[in-house]
Each structure stands twice: as structure tokens, then as C-alpha cells.
Structure 1
Amino acid sequence: MQTKESYLSNGSREPNNIEYNFSDGKTAKSYNSSWQKPVTYLSLVLLGASVSFTGSYLGSQNKASSQPSISQASIVPVTPKLEAKLPITADTNFVTEVVDKVGPAVVRIDSSRTVKNDMPAVFDDPFFRQFFGSQLPGVPRERVEQGTGSGFIINSDGQILTNAHVVDGVDTVTVTLKDGRTFKGKVLGTDPVTDVAVVKIEADNLPAIRMGNSDNLKPGEWAIAIGNPLGLDNTVTTGIISATGRTSSQVGVPDKRVSFIQTDAAINPGNSGGPLLNAAGEVVGMNTAIIQGAQGIGFAIPINTAQRIASGLVANGKVEHPYLGVQMVDLTPEIKQRINSDPNSGLTVDEDNGVLVVKVMPNSPAAKAGLRAGDVIQKIGDRTAADAKTVQQTVEDSRVGSNLQLQVRRNGQNVNLTVRPGAFPTAQQ
């Protein structure tokens, strides 16, 4: 969604800061710190390189020659094993076929919301007005913000998948199909924790997109993005899957609980909510965020995650996410040394493996269970706590109010705790 105002923006640039842009134009900043940098935000949010193809020829230095340059004779063709795995060889018409098949299911979403302007209370003071009267600034009490995003139809009855930040809190939603028809949209539910939303339009026999399996994605696969960037409807860009499993803290949006897909297919403001497709024309992700100033670094929500959340939104209008209420970090020798040598950390770590609890939120499920900062999680449920990601996924797979067993090391002793995950607190609750 494009807006005229920035999100969590700060006009000044600080050293070691990275500014992140949602693909609707909103921005947020990630601040680096010393040993605290790798902390994963399991409490506030339970989450929080690129791959390149070589050319078709390989240059090798002729050892028998004293010339420093590579001779023509030393350039030999590489066996095209990689090309055999691609859906095409030299013909790129597969992209055209995908666009022809999927394009009609991609929509533009226009929204508007009314925002109240903050007026200094002194402007309403009668004593103040008798001196300034008509000279007071004519600032309207309210203003209307408009934005544009993308979405895609997931069934013929008119259910549309998009980003939560495209439609959350809006007053009106208008959906425009590729054939030019427009419909009033109804928001069935939004989930700000995963940035997924479902919109419904009253229409029948609509073209629906075919779902893929994001769990099977591998870096290097083709990626095709379709959306409405910067008001340019039905824009198509191509690239590859650059990486999978990017955590929210890596992406710079620690308030999301998503393992993002990274792609170098061009994504811009207005692409939010649009599909990321594979070479077969199946949607494997939903485009959502970019890093400002970077080239070829965009992020999408895996479609398996989006589908799971969408099902809950359609059924209940909301989705509950289990959470513990801790900040944690993978315990490595480097992290252990940094913490033990930092007199301001307030922690002393004796263990060499596990997941270190850095902070426990007051009145959180973790605090009620007796978990403390400095505890090292060794086991959660029936899984060994090899890293923070394992802990996060185990909590995500649990249910709100269920019992979850923890084994931690505290002052050289094993401590067994039972924690009951709570419902993740959001602004909507």
C-alpha cells in the first residue's frame, strides 16, 4: 500500500542502521547493537547471499603459458547440468504462459481511511481565539489517506488474499479486476502478526490462482511477481528464489512471525499482497516487504503460512498465536564471551549449548512459569533446543493454554518448568 506518510520513520540516519520499506511505502528501521543484535523476539513477536548463476562458459588459466590473460583456447564449455533442471532452455515464453494463465486472478486493491489531525488544545481556547481569530491556521480536523496494493483471488466465490497492512483499519476497499470490473470489498479478517488478510467480493465464476507448496522451494528456482507497483497495473517482474527461511529479525520486522522467502524479482510500493509464482504458475508466496536502498532484495510470505492463516481468518475473523514472552538468542561461544565480558548485561552464562533467555516480559506466560533471564533452554516439548528457531516453531505449533514442558540449565543445575503459552497480544486485542 502506498501512503503519503512514512511508518515508524525517523528523518535522521544513524550509524549501523538499516531502513526497511514495506512494499506499500511504509518504512521501519532496524538498529544494530553489540551482543544484543541476534536476539530473537519470542515475546513481542515470536520471530522477531543471494544465489547467482554462472555463465555457460568457464575460464581457466593455461598453466603452460606465461601470459597473464586467459587465452581463447583455455575457455571450454561447461556441461549444462544446471540448464537441464530449469523449466526452459533458451526460450522464455514460459513467463508469458504463466502471466496469461495467472494474470486475470491478480487484482488491484484501493483503500481509504479517515485520520484525525492532532490539534493543539490552545487553538480551542476562547481566550486565545479572541486575540488571533481568523489568523489561526486552517488545519482540517480530519484527512483522508488513500493507498493502493495488490491481491490475488484464491477461489471462484471471490475470496482474495492480500497483506494485512494493505487493508487493516481502512474505511473502504475497492477491488479492480484485470478486465476492468470493480467491486466493493469486505475485509473478513486481518492478522498483523503474519501480515495476512482476506478480502471478499460478491462475484461468481472468478478466475482463481493455483496454490503451490512453499515448503519445497529451493534457492535458484524461478520467481515471477505480478502486482500494481507505483500505480502501474499488471506489472510483471522475474527473478529467482534467493533464499528461504529468513527470520523476521533478519528482515528487520521483528513484530512479524514469518519465515520469509527472499527473491530478487523486482518488488516496489504497490506490490504488497501480490503473488510470487513459480515456473508452473503456482503461487508460492505473497510479496510484502523490501529493503530501501538495496537492489534485488525483496521478501514474500510463504503461501503455506498465508493459507493457514487465511483459513483461520475466514472461519473466525482472527487467528490466535501462542507466545511465551521472552527474548532469546542462540548460545554460541562468541555470544557467551560477549555477555560474560559485558558488565552491563546483568547475566553470567556457564553453558556452551542451547538457547539463552535474555529477557522475560513481566506478567508473561514465561514469567508465570518461573523462567528467568540467564536460563539456557536445553529442551522444549519433545525437541532439543538446538537454536532459537526451533524454540519459536515449537511454540507456534502449540496451542494457547496448553502445557509445554521446558528443560533449562540454571546455575549449573537442570530445572524443569511447565509453561502455558498465552495468546499473542496485539493492538486489536
Structure 2
Amino acid sequence: MRYFLKPLFVFLFTFVAITAQGQLFKNNIRQYKVQLAGKSADLIDGGGVISADSMNTTFKDKGYGPVTVNLESMKKKKLQPGEIYNHVSEATVIVSSAGRCGEVNDRGTECKRIHTYPASGYVIDSEGIIVTNYHVVNGYVTKYNKISRDVLVVMLKDGTTFPVTEILSADKSNDLAIIKIDPKGVKLPALRVATKDAEIGDPVYIVSHPKGYFYTFSSGMVTDKFSEINAGQYRNLMAISADYAAGSSGAAIIDQFGNVIGTVSYTKTLLHSDDDAKTQMVLKATIPSSCLLKLIKEGN
């Protein structure tokens, strides 16, 4: 019996050790930041990418028609938070401008390193259709971007990187952009977009890249629904309590079933009226899924 128990113990210990590993600790710099720069350099050197100057000639605030997207029906089975993270993270991407600035310093040395400015986005069609913010794409094409104008890239969770080939739609007022990559025949994991807006009190989840902490998971609830004027138009917004920061722009807001109910847009710091140095609250505003569906189906 003793000899039987020993191998059994070894087997159980090994099984528990492997199971306990679960999710590994990632290296945000080496695993994503360094790879993002290196693979962007490969795309730039390989040619055939769309520069900011070229993309700027077709990018506009509005005036786009409907977009052909293969949207799957909403999921109705409630998921555990860990299941939501595993599902959503696979369809969450890094969207970044990249380029060599070519600036020459006081010693006459030219800067040849690749500059990147990672933000977030998410796949809605396995053929390579991705949602992000208008201001993310505009940050690439704008004249104020002086140092990363060679290519707009999309990096998947596994590090595979593609150049953006087309801007399918954009809406400045609602801060949305729909972009296209060519995944070379690979079917990408895609998220389902909710056809019904969330209500105040509903739980929400986000997978995004705040300040270079790639694929960070946070949760909260819908705290408010309000409208405001932006770019000369009224728009509807959904405030949430889940945390996000710079780098999270364009990330999907997810319900408890794994459906997209919104898109990260901006944060606003609310200060004490008697003391501007005192932060009382941070408002986190997101664009509800109904705005995205309208842009897809009707254009603007």
C-alpha cells in the first residue's frame, strides 16, 4: 500500500501544482511594449502600410455610409468574472500609432527608435473589423502627431500584429471609429454587441491597457445615463464605476453575459468647488452600444 500511495501522491501534487498556476504573471514591457515596437518596425520596413499623411486624406469627422459587419446575436448565459476575462481578452486588441520621428539631436544624431502610443480596441467581426475611439485614430492622422506617423497597427493578445488597411467609419460626436485589418485568413475571436442598452445598476466589466498595464481587468456598475453636446451634436453617454485610464480608450464595456454594452471614451475629474486641489470623484464616460449599432447600420 505504501508503494502505491507514493506515486499517487506525486501525481496529485503535480496536478495541483499545474492547476494552481492558472493565469501566469505577464511581463508588460517585454511581452507587449517591446514586441509592439519591434513588430511595428518590421511592418514599416516591409512597406505597403498606410502612413498618417495618406490616411488623413480619407479620414473625416462624419459622412460615412453603413458598414457591412457580420454581427452575431447576443449571449444570454450569465458568466463568471473569470470566464468574462478569458473570453473578452482574446478579442481585445492594442491599437497604436507607430513611427520613427527622425529628429536630430544637438549632437547631430538621428532618432531611429520606434515611437508607439498604445490604446485599446475590440474585434466585432472575425474577418478583421475592429472598434476603437475616433480620438485614437485622429491621434494618428492629426498634424500634432510629429513622431509616430508611419503606420497604425493592431496587436492581438498573442502578439500577432497587423497594419490597419482601411477606416470603415468614424463619428467624432460619438467618439467611435471602425477600422479594418487583413488577418490573412485567420478567424479572429469576436465580441457580440448588445442590441439593448444597459440600465443604471447593471454590472459592467472592462479589459483594457491603462498606462501600459496591458490586459487589465476591472469591474463596476452603470452609475448614470446622460446626454451632452459634443462636436455640435447631442450624444448619449453611460457613466460607469469600473476603473480605466489613458490607454484604455476604445475598450469594450461588457455585461455579465459577455456582450458589448459600450465603448470607453473619456474620464473627467470632478474637483471640490472650494479647493481645486481636491479631487472628489472621477466621472468615467462611455458610449452605449446603441450608438455603435446605429453607426454600423445607418452611417452618419
Q: Report TM bin, short chain.
A: 0.5 to 0.7
- Is the counterpart of residue 299 in structure 1 residue 285 in structure 2? yes
Q: 1:226 to 1:281 in 2, by over 3 A?
A: same
- Is the counterpart of residue 181 in structure 1 residue 160 in structure 2? yes
- Is the counterpart of residue 218 in structure 1 residue 218 in structure 2? no
Query: Size of the alignment, in residue pairs?
Result: 201
Q: 1:255 to 1:171 in 2, by over 3 A?
A: farther
Equivalent runs, 1:341-352 vs 2, <5 Å: none
Match of 1:240 in 2: 221
Q: 1:174 to 1:226 in 2, by over 3 A?
A: same
SS at match of 1:247: strand
CA RMSD of aligned residues (A): 3.2
Equivalent runs, 1:22-101 vs 2, <5 Å: 94-101=80-87
> Among the aligned pairs, what percent are the same residue?
25
Q: Is the 8 A contact 1:197 1:310 kept in 2?
A: no
TM-score by length of structure 1 reads 0.42
How far apart, in 1, do the equivalents of 2:204 and 2:214 lie?
A: 19
- Is the counterpart of residue 207 in structure 1 residue 184 in structure 2? no
How far apart, in 2, do the equivalents of 1:199 and 1:209 lie?
A: 15
What do residues 342-363 of structure 1 show as CA deviations (whole Å, max 9, x unaligned)? xxxxxxxxxxxxxxxxxxxxxx
How far apart, in 2, do the equivalents of 1:228 and 1:94 lie?
A: 21
What do residues 270-303 of structure 1 show as CA deviations (whole Å, max 9, x unaligned)? 1100000111110000001001355452011111
Q: Is the 8 A contact 1:227 1:271 kept in 2?
A: yes
Match of 1:282 in 2: 259
The letter for the 2-side match of 1:206 is: L
Q: Greater helix percent: which structure?
A: 2
Q: 1:172 to 1:311 in 2, by over 3 A?
A: farther
Q: 1:307 to 1:294 in 2, by over 3 A?
A: farther
The letter for the 1-side match of 2:165 is: K
How far apart, in 1, do the equivalents of 2:161 and 2:87 lie?
A: 20
How far apart, in 2, do the equivalents of 1:114 and 1:180 lie?
A: 21
SS at match of 2:152: strand
Match of 2:241 in 1: 264
**How far apart are 1:240 and its partner, in Å?**
0.2
Q: Is the 8 A contact 1:214 1:285 kept in 2?
A: no
Q: 1:187 to 1:258 in 2, by over 3 A?
A: farther
**How far apart are 1:308 and its partner, in Å?**
2.1
SS at match of 1:307: helix
**How far apart are 1:94 and its partner, in Å?**
1.2
Q: Is the 8 A contact 2:172 2:231 kept in 1?
A: no
Match of 1:157 in 2: 127
Q: Is the 8 A contact 2:173 2:231 kept in 1?
A: no
Q: 1:182 to 1:112 in 2, by over 3 A?
A: closer
Q: Is the 8 A contact 2:98 2:153 kept in 1?
A: no
**How far apart are 1:187 and its partner, in Å?**
3.6
TM-score by length of structure 2 reads 0.59
Q: 1:103 to 1:309 in 2, by over 3 A?
A: same
Match of 1:68 in 2: none
SS at match of 2:235: coil
How far apart, in 2, do the equivalents of 1:200 and 1:103 lie?
A: 19
Match of 1:315 in 2: none
What do residues 366-407 of structure 1 show as CA deviations (whole Å, max 9, x unaligned)? xxxxxxxxxxxxxxxxxxxxxxxxxxxxxxxxxxxxxxxxxx
User: Whose Rg is larger?
Assistant: 1
- Is the counterpart of residue 195 in structure 1 residue 175 in structure 2? yes
Gaps of 5+ in 1: 1-44, 46-86, 118-135, 313-318, 321-429
**How far apart are 1:182 and its partner, in Å?**
1.1
Gaps of 5+ in 2: 1-61, 63-76, 142-148, 270-278
How far apart, in 1, do the equivalents of 2:187 and 2:118 lie?
A: 25
**How far apart are 1:191 and its partner, in Å?**
2.2
How far apart, in 1, do the equivalents of 2:89 and 2:209 lie?
A: 11
Q: 1:221 to 1:307 in 2, by over 3 A?
A: same
What do residues 170-204 of structure 1 show as CA deviations (whole Å, max 9, x unaligned)? 64111111122111112423222221111111113
**How far apart are 1:231 and its partner, in Å?**
0.9
How far apart, in 1, do the equivalents of 2:225 and 2:290 lie?
A: 13
